[in-house]
Amino acid sequence: MSALTAEPHTEPGTDELVAGFHVFDPALCDMPTRKHLLGRLRSECPVGRSEAFGGYWVVTKHALQQEAFKNPRVFSSTVPIVPRLDGVDMLMSIPMGLDAPRHNPYRRVLTGAFTPRRVQALEDEVRAYARG
Q: How many C-beta atoms surround the C-beta of residue 48 within 10 A?
A: 20
pLDDT for the residue 70? 85
Residues of the chain falling short of pLDDT 50? 1, 6, 9-10, 12
Distance CA 92, CA 104 (A): 15
pLDDT of residue 128: 92
Contact yes or no for 99/72 (Cβ under 8 A): yes
Q: What's the pLDDT score for residue 16?
A: 76
